Structure 1
Amino acid sequence: MAIYRAKTDSWYVERITSFLAGFFVFVSVILGLYTGNKYFFYFTAFVGFMLMFFAVTGLCPSSILLHKLGVPSLLEKYCEKEKGK
């Protein structure tokens, strides 16, 4: 049985995007429970929708923004290592 384990030696677009999604969900749920304001749960639903949107279409606005800010993708990091050999 194969086990998938992401590389954790550096930060790359895919890892940061997953971290941000988890962070936003966690914080919005905590704020929704703490304040009793249901609008925080709408933000949680939005993040969930965007995760499903990415799974269906392959487009992720936060990943596009991170890449434009100069964060390399995992594939780019791997190709840099292969070039350096």
Structure 2
Amino acid sequence: MTQTTTSDYEVARDRLTRKRKFKGDVVAYAVINAFLMGMWAVAGFGYFWPGWVLAGWGVLLLLDGWDAYYRHDVTEEDIQREVHRTR
């Protein structure tokens, strides 16, 4: 059985790519939702319908942020620690 390993360079590049994408997503979230709130204000305020977009997209954005900044790949050390815990 062969084991595929990913170099540290590739792991770091992937992590940086996710972080850069997340930053772009945050900017898009802010710009688009500001536009929607502007439309809501021009329409006479009333029911705050942009809240649905803010909330739904915001939850997805939080999940992407968690993935980009806090989730890490499983390392060999993690695997060895788990193997020793089960004994």
**TM-score, with normalisation over the residues of structure 2?**
0.41
**TM-score, with normalisation over the residues of structure 1?**
0.42
